[in-house]
């Protein structure tokens, strides 16, 4: 009887370990793709400057205001993202930031059709910074929850490379599209990532383990 009970315990332990490894890889994939797309969108304005100046006749001072609005909201939202990740599910904070940043980028791309393009672009770009800034704090907390300290540095470095890849791909993609089309594409990519990646993060056991 003792041998049978021991074997059952070993099987249960192996099942838990396999389940943990499966979800750890799912979480890593989500964080990698999500941070890749965050970085991809974060550089949208800097690479779009020539197109904005040509298409909408913006002055350098106007672009400076756009950049300042983003930087201000981005810095502020990092604090909010960190606090929110401590008091609620970090996967929700990460995913919702990705969703609403994509919505803001799509709104930004449609601002050129409005009566006051600069005003609406500023508002949407401010909103984009507000939601993009909340991305990294929950990612850092998820890493500390799911990856043991012995290998955390390796996984952290692997996640960090996604941001560099996002910047490189952003430059490559920008050479093929006009500024407005490019912003549409960036926003839709973020929404697609949310639809495809977040469902794996909301089984009951995972949600409860992160709260």
CA distance linking residue 114 with residue 199, whole number of Å: 35
Residue 127 pLDDT? 92
3-state secondary structure of 58: coil
The model's pLDDT over 48-83, given as tens digits with 9 standing for 90+, comes to: 676 677 777 788 888 888 888 998 999 999 888 888
Residue 155's Cα: distance from chain center in Å?
A: 17
Instruction: For the chain, count helices (H), then strands (E).
Output: 9, 0
pTM for this model (two decimals): 0.75
pLDDT below 50 — which residues of the chain?
Answer: 2, 196-197, 199-201, 203-211
Domain-wise residue ranges, the chain = 2-210
Q: Indicate the CATH number for domain 2-210.
A: 1.20.1250.20
| 3-state SS, residue 29 | helix
pLDDT (0 to 100) of residue 25? 82
Angle among Cα 190, 193, 194 to the nearest 5 degrees reads: 90
Radius of gyration of the chain (CA): 20
Q: Are 116 and 72 in contact (CB under 8 A)?
A: no
């Amino acid at each position: 009887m003792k041998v049978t009970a021991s074997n059952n315990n070993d099987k249960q332990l192996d099942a838990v370990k396999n389940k943990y490894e499966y979800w750890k890889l799912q979480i890593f994939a989500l964080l990698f793709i999500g941070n890749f797309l965050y970085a991809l969108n974060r550089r949208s304005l800097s690479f779009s400057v020539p197109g904005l100046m040509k298409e909408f006749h913006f002055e350098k001072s106007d672009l400076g205001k756009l950049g300042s609005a983003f930087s201000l909201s981005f810095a502020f939202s990092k604090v909010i993202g960190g606090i929110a990740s401590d008091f609620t599910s970090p996967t929700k904070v990460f995913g919702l930031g990705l969703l609403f940043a994509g919505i803001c980028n799509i709104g930004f791309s449609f601002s050129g059709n409005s009566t006051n393009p600069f005003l609406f672009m500023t508002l949407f770009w401010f909103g984009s910074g507000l939601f993009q800034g909340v991305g990294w704090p929950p990612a850092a907390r998820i890493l500390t929850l799911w990856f043991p300290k012995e290998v955390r540095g390796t996984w952290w470095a692997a996640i960090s490379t996604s941001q560099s890849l996002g910047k490189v791909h952003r430059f490559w993609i920008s050479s093929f599209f006009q500024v407005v089309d490019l912003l549409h594409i960036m926003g839709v990519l973020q929404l697609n990532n949310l639809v495809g990646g977040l469902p794996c993060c909301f089984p009951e056991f995972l949600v409860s383990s992160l709260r």
